[in-house]
Amino acid sequence: MSKQYDVVVIGAGPGGYVAAIRAAQLGLKTAVVERQHLGGICLNWGCIPTKALLRSSEIHHLLHHLDEFGFSADNIKFDLKKIVERSRGVAKQLSGGIGHLMKKNKIDVIWGNASLKGKGSFEVDNEGKKEAYSAKHIILATGARARELPHLKANGKTIITYKEAMTPETMPKNLLVIGSGAIGIEFASFYQNMGAQVTVVEMQDRVMPVEDKEISAFAEKQFLKQGMKIVKSASVEKLEEGKGLVKATIDIKGKKEVQEFDRVILAIGIVGNTENIGLENTKIKTDRGHIVVNQWLETDEKGVYAIGDVVGAPWLAHKASHEAIICVEKLAGLNDVHPLNTSNIPGCTYCRPQVASVGLTEEKAKEAGYKIKVGRFPFIGNGKAIAMGEAEGLVKTVFDEKTGELLGAHMIGAEVTEMIQGFGVAKSLETTELDLMHTVFPHPTLSEMMHESVLDAYGKVIHM
Amino acid sequence: MPVNILMPALSPTMTEGKLAKWTVQEGDEVTSGDVIAEIETDKATMEVEAVDEGVIGKIMISEGTEGVAVNSVIAVLLEEGETANDIGEVSADAPAPAPKVEEKSEAKEAQASSTAPAVATPSPAPVAASGERVFASPLARRMADQNGLKLEQVTGTGPRGRIVKADIEKAVKEGVKAPAPATAKSGGSMPAGVDSRAQADALGQPYEFEAANGVRQVIANRLLESKQTVPHFYLTVDCELDALLKLRSQVNKDEEGYKVSVNDFIIRAVAKSLRDVPAANASWAGDGILNYTDVDVSVAVASENGLITPIVKKADEKSLTTISKEMKDLAGRAREGKLAPHEFQGGGFTISNLGMFGIKTFSAIINPPQSCILAVGAGEQRAVVKNGELAIATVMSVTLSVDHRSVDGAVGAEFLAAFKKYIEAPAKILA
C-alpha cells in the first residue's frame, strides 16, 4: 500500500513550502517532495543570495564614496571568494530554517523527483529508489528555470546563467548581460558596481521593459552614469567561444556588430518546469511552457493544483506564496477565500538605484482606456534622501481621474523596494486619492515622497 | 423552569388593555390551545390561549384589572414536576420574550392584525435596516455614488463580504440582483412561500427571466417591508369634481399654451390639506413620531424601470402653475431615469394616481417611512343624490392608506375631509 496524504506539494520553493505549512496549519496530513533543496530557487539560487551579493556591491560603492561622508581609507580591496561564501552562507542558513519549519509543522519531506501517475497517485524517484504515494490533493509547485535559445546556450564557464553568475571564482573584466529584465539588470548592477565593465543588450527600446517608461529612462541614465554600456533594440545573434573569450554578434537595428567579452550572462526569461513530472498521465494542459489553471489554481485534473512560476507570470516568489495560501484554503473548504488580483502584486528590482512598482504603468493605463492623473515627486525634493546622500530617484503615481483609484505606482531610488508595500496596501484596500492624502506620513522619511507624489497628481504638492 | 404568561398585544398600537376574565384558576391543568383568559381593548375582546402545557401556578393580575401593560406577566405556568415554590425564579420584569400566548379574536380587525408579524415582536422602524453599517472599500463607495447605486443593493465579495470595486462593476453591468444582507434581515425580497422560478422550472412553465434592475429591487424590498411591517388601514371618500373641472378650464384659458392638469390640483389640494392636518405629514420612528415641518409631496410616476416618486418640495408654498411646471419637469425626467437622488428621496406624503387608466378605486401600499399614501381613482360621471333627488356629478374616489402606528383613523378622516373640501371648493386651492 502506498503512503497516503491529504495534501502533497511537489516542490519546496516559496510556493511549495508555504502551501505545505498552510495545509498543515489547517490540520491536513501534508508532505512536500523536493529534489534538491528546501526553499527552492528563490532562497538558494535567486532572490536571497543575490541580495547578499548586492549588499556587498553596495558597500563597495559606498567605500569608494567615503569622502562624501567625511571618511577616508586607503587600499580598499575585496575578496570575491568571501563575498560569494557569505552569499552561500545566507542561503544555507535560510534553507535550514525551512527544514525546521517543516519539522515544526509535522510536514514529511520526501526527497526525490515526483511524477504523477493519475487519480491522486504519484511516484517519487530518489536516485533510482522508487516509492509510490497517493494524496487527495496534489499541488504542483515545480518552479521554473532560465530560458536558453538554440543560438544562446550556456556552457557553464564563459557563457553562464544565474547559478554560475552568483558564484564567480574570478571577476569578469568585460561582461555581457543579455536581457535587461529584473534578473539581468541585477547581475549587471552587481558586476558594474564591483568594477567590471558591463554591457547590457536588450531587445526592446528600453531597459527593464515591464516598468513604466519614465522609470526605464531614469534607470538607464543612472546606469550610463555608472559606466555601464547599454545596447537597446538589439539582439545577440551568435555567441562564439574562443580562448577565454566569447565573440558576440550583436544585431543593432539590422546593423551587425561583433564584440568580445570574457563572460556572458544569459537572462532571457524563464520557462516552467513542466517536464518529467508525469503531466502526460493526467488531463493537465500546458500553454507555452506553463501549466493552465483557473483562479483557484485548479488544473484540468481533479485534485491536482499548480502554483507559482510553473503557472506563469509574474515570476515572483511572493506571488507563488500568495497563490499557495489561496490554493490550500480553497481546497480545505475555507470560506472567505479570494482570487489573486494580479494588478496588486508589487515587483522589486534590487539594482542601484532600486526599482519598485505595483499596478499599471502610465502607458498601460492609457491603453486600458483610463483618463488618468499622474503625480511625480523627485528624491531631490526630500530631506531624508538628501541627508542619506541618495538624492536621485523618482516616485510616480497614476490615478483614474474618474474614480480616484490608484491604478499604479512606480518608484526608482534608494530603498524603494521597502516602500512599495505602502501602495500595495492602498491598492488592496481600494483606497482613493483622498485616503492617501489623509494619511499622515512620518517625517523625515523617504516615504513622504509617496504622499507628495499623490498630492502632485491633484495639484497639491507642497515641496516642489 | 416556570413559564411567564404575558399580556399580549392585540394590535400594533395597543400598549395596555383590560384583563376581563380568567377562565382558569390556579392549579388548573392546561394544554396548548386551552382558553385561559379574555382580554378587552377599546376595539375588541379576545381569548387568550395557552401555548404550553402545564399547571396554572399563579395568577398575577386579577380579573377585571384595567390598564394592564402589554408584555407584563399576567400568570405563571408550571411545567411538569414544578411547584408554586419554583415561581420565585421567575423575574417579573424579565425582558419580554416572544409572547407565550396566542390570541383568538372575535373582532375582525383584531383578528387580521393578530396574524401580522408586528404582533409577535415589536416591528423595527422601516428605515432601521439602512442604518446598519455596510462594509465597502473607499473606491467602491465612490463608484457606487457615481453610478447612483445604493451599497445596500450590492452584494460584497471581498474579505468578510466587503463590497469592493469588482462588485460595483458587476452591479453596474448586470443590474442589482441579490437583496442586500441588511434588507434581507428585515424581510428581504425573496418570496417566503413558493419559489416562483423553481416552480415554473419544475412544471416546465415557459417564461422569460428579466433580472431586476436597481429600481425594481428597491420596489420589491421596500414595498414588501411596508406591507409586512406597517399596519395599514384604509379610508375612502368620494369627491365631486365638477367645480374643479370648471375652474381648470378657466385657468387653462388664461394660461396660453399651457395646461394645468387635474393631478396638479390634487397635489396642491394635498399640500394645503397637510398644512391643515399636519399630523398626516409624519413618520413612525420606532420610539416616537417625526412630524415633518415642510410639506414635501411625493408623486408616483411610472417609468420604464418601474415606479419612482419624485417630490414636489414645499408644495404648500408654491402656486398651482409652479407645481404644474415643476411636476411636468420631474415626471419627464423620472421617465428618462434622470432624477438626482435628492429629487426622489424623502417626502412626507405620497400621491398615486391611476385615474387616467380608468381605475375607480384602489388601495396603495404605504411608501415607507411615510405614513400616508393617497390612491386617486378616475373622475367619472355618477348618479348622486342631492337634496333628496338624483343628480349627475363627476365623482372621483380617493383612498388613503394610513400607518396606524403614527396616524390614527380620526386624523386620516380629518385629512380626507380637508382634501374633499379643497377639491369641491377649488377656489380655496388657488388661494
Strands laid side by side in the B16-22 sheet: B65-69, B16-22, B35-40, B45-50, B101-105
Q: Are A113 and A123 in contact (CB under 8 A)?
A: no
pLDDT of B161: 87
Q: What does DSSP assign to residue A382?
A: -
**Amino acid at site B230:** V
Q: With cut-offs at 50, 70 and 90, classify the pLDDT of residue B35.
A: confident
Residue of A nearest to B135 (CA): A429
A365/B45: higher pLDDT: A365
B95/A245: higher pLDDT: A245
pLDDT at B100 over 80: no
Grid look-up 419612482 returns: B308
A95/B306: higher pLDDT: A95
Report CA torsion sign: B311, B316, B320, B325: negative
Give the three-state DSSP class for B139.
helix
Q: With cut-offs at 50, 70 and 90, classify the pLDDT of residue B117.
A: very low
Distance from CA of B415 to the nearest CA of A (A): 48
Q: With cut-offs at 50, 70 and 90, classify the pLDDT of residue B95.
A: very low
Contacts of B146 in chain A (CB under 8 A): 402-403
* Cβ contact B140–A402 (<8 Å): no
Lowest mean pLDDT among A57-66, A305-314, B56-65: B56-65
pLDDT of A1: 56
Alpha-carbon distance A50 to A83, whole Å?
A: 11
**Amino acid at site A179:** G
Condensed to tens digits (0 to 9), the pLDDT of residues B130-172 reads 456 889 999 999 999 998 888 888 888 888 889 999 999 998 8
pLDDT of B409: 94
* Cβ contact B139–A403 (<8 Å): yes
Percent above pLDDT 70 for chain A: 100
Backbone torsions φ then ψ of A407, nearest 5 degrees? -80, -35
Q: What does DSSP assign to residue A405?
A: B
Q: Are A312 and A145 in contact (CB under 8 A)?
A: no
pLDDT of B186: 37
B381's enclosing H/E stretch is strand B372-386
Peptide bond just before A209 cis, omega within 30 deg? no
Condensed to tens digits (0 to 9), the pLDDT of residues A440-461 reads 999 999 999 999 999 999 999 9
pLDDT of B192: 55
Alpha-carbon distance A68 to A195, whole Å?
A: 19
Residue of B nearest to A404 (CA): B139
pLDDT at B114 over 70: no
Strands laid side by side in the B73-78 sheet: B3-6, B73-78, B54-59, B29-30
Backbone torsions φ then ψ of A50, nearest 5 degrees? -70, -35
Contacts of A435 in chain B (CB under 8 A): 138
pLDDT at B89 over 90: no
CB nearest to A430's CB, from B138, B146, B157: B138
Q: Mean pLDDT throughout B305-313?
A: 88
Torsion angle of C-alpha atoms A291, A296, A302, A305, degrees rounded to 10: 50
CB nearest to B165's CB, from A336, A402, A430: A430
Which cell is B311 given?
417630490
In chain A the first and final C-alpha atoms are separated, in Å, by: 72
With b for 16 or more beta-carbon neighbours within 10 A and e for fewer, the A328-356 pattern comes to bbbbbeeeebeebeeebbbbbbbbbbbbb
Residues of A with CB under 8 A from a CB of B: 336, 338, 402-405, 429-432, 434-435
* Cβ contact A432–B159 (<8 Å): no
Alpha-carbon distance A228 to A207, whole Å?
A: 12
Backbone torsions φ then ψ of A61, nearest 5 degrees? -60, -45
pLDDT at A430 over 70: yes
pTM over 0.90: no
| Cβ-Cβ contacts under 8 Å for B112 (sequence gap 6 or more) | none
Contacts of B144 in chain A (CB under 8 A): none
Contacts of B149 in chain A (CB under 8 A): none
pLDDT of B26: 85
pLDDT at B212 over 60: yes
Q: With cut-offs at 50, 70 and 90, classify the pLDDT of residue B113.
A: very low
Please state, as a whole number, how many other Cβ atoms lie within 10 Å of the Cβ of residue B287: 6
CB nearest to B164's CB, from A336, A403, A430: A430
* Cβ contact B138–A435 (<8 Å): yes
* Cβ contact B159–A338 (<8 Å): yes
Distance from CA of A306 to the nearest CA of B (A): 23
Residues of B with CB under 8 A from a CB of A: 137-140, 142-143, 146, 157-160, 164-165
Q: Mean pLDDT throughout A29-56?
A: 95
Please state, as a whole number, how many other Cβ atoms lie within 10 Å of the Cβ of residue A13: 32
Condensed to tens digits (0 to 9), the pLDDT of residues A156-167 reads 999 999 999 999
* Nearest residue to A221 via CA among A68, A410, A355: A355
Q: With cut-offs at 50, 70 and 90, classify the pLDDT of residue B84.
A: low
pLDDT of B44: 65
Between chain A and chain B, the number of residue pairs with CB atoms below 8 A apart is 30
Contacts of B156 in chain A (CB under 8 A): none
pLDDT at B43 over 70: no
pLDDT at B179 over 60: no
Backbone torsions φ then ψ of B155, nearest 5 degrees? -90, 125
Radius of gyration of chain B (CA): 26
pLDDT at B19 over 50: yes
Active-site residues of B, by number, are: 404
Distance from CA of B332 to the nearest CA of A (A): 28
* Cβ contact B138–A429 (<8 Å): yes
Condensed to tens digits (0 to 9), the pLDDT of residues A170-201 reads 999 999 999 999 999 999 999 999 999 999 99
Residue B206's alpha-carbon distances to A274, B191, B211, in angstroms, are 50, 20, 16
pLDDT of B109: 40
Active-site residues of A, by number, are: 443
With b for 16 or more beta-carbon neighbours within 10 A and e for fewer, the A278-310 pattern comes to bbeebebebeebbbebeeebbbebeebbbbbbb
Alpha-carbon distance B341 to B147, whole Å?
A: 11
pLDDT at B262 over 80: yes
Q: With cut-offs at 50, 70 and 90, classify the pLDDT of residue A316.
A: very high
CB nearest to B139's CB, from A336, A338, A431: A431
Give the three-state DSSP class for A37.
coil
Q: With cut-offs at 50, 70 and 90, classify the pLDDT of residue B127.
A: very low
* Cβ contact B142–A336 (<8 Å): no
Q: Are B334 and B384 in contact (CB under 8 A)?
A: no
pLDDT at B97 over 80: no
With b for 16 or more beta-carbon neighbours within 10 A and e for fewer, the B92-123 pattern comes to eeeebeebbbbbebebeebeebbebebbeeeb
Q: Which residue of B135, B143, B168 is the best one to mutate when testing the A interface, meaning the one whose CB has the most A CBs within 10 A?
A: B143
pLDDT of B189: 47
Q: Mean pLDDT throughout A95-113?
A: 96
Q: Which residue of A370, A400, A403 is the best one to mutate when testing the B interface, meaning the one whose CB has the most B CBs within 10 A?
A: A403
Q: Are B37 and B68 in contact (CB under 8 A)?
A: no
| The three-state (H, E, C) secondary structure of B152-192, written as one string | HHCCCCCHHHCECHHHHHHHHHHCCCCCCHHHHHCCCCCCC
Q: Are B30 and B53 in contact (CB under 8 A)?
A: yes
Contacts of B142 in chain A (CB under 8 A): 403-404, 432
The rounded mean pLDDT for chain B is 81
Residue of A nearest to B158 (CA): A338
What would the DSSP string read from start to end of A59-111? HHHHHTTGGGGT---SS----HHHHHHHHHHHHHHHHHHHHHHHHHTTPEEEE
Helices then strands, each counted (H, E), chain A: 13, 24
Percent above pLDDT 90 for chain B: 38
Q: With cut-offs at 50, 70 and 90, classify the pLDDT of residue A370.
A: very high
pLDDT of B87: 67
* Cβ contact A434–B138 (<8 Å): yes
* Nearest residue to B62 via CA among B30, B18, B31, B104: B18
In terms of C-beta distances under 8 Å and separation of at least 24 residues, what long-range contacts does A183-187 make, across chains too?
A183/A146, A183/A267, A184/A265, A184/A267, A184/A268, A185/A219, A185/A349, A185/A351, A186/A50, A186/A54, A186/A349, A186/A350, A186/A351, A187/A50, A187/A162, A187/A265, A187/A267
pLDDT at B184 over 50: no
pLDDT of B131: 59
* Nearest residue to A274 via CA among A252, A296, A299: A299
Backbone torsions φ then ψ of B379, nearest 5 degrees? -85, 120
Q: Mean pLDDT throughout B296-319?
A: 90
Give the three-state DSSP class for A239.
strand
pLDDT of A130: 95
A161/B61: higher pLDDT: A161
Q: Are B57 and B84 in contact (CB under 8 A)?
A: yes
pLDDT of B362: 95
* Cβ contact B139–A405 (<8 Å): yes
Which cell is A7 given?
495534501
Question: Residue B80, class by beta-carbon neighbours within 10 Å (0-12 exposed, 13-18 middle, 19+ buried)?
Answer: exposed
Q: Mean pLDDT throughout A44-49?
A: 95
* Nearest residue to A309 via CA among A282, A290, A288, A325: A290
pLDDT at B82 over 80: no
A372's enclosing H/E stretch is strand A372-378
What's the half-sphere exposure (Cβ side, CA atoms, 13 Å) at A9? Answer: 38
Q: Which residue of A427, A430, A438, A439 is the best one to mutate when testing the B interface, meaning the one whose CB has the most B CBs within 10 A?
A: A430
Residue A334's alpha-carbon distances to A23, A26, A105, A230, A429, in angstroms, are 11, 9, 19, 50, 21
B82/A183: higher pLDDT: A183
pLDDT of B9: 75
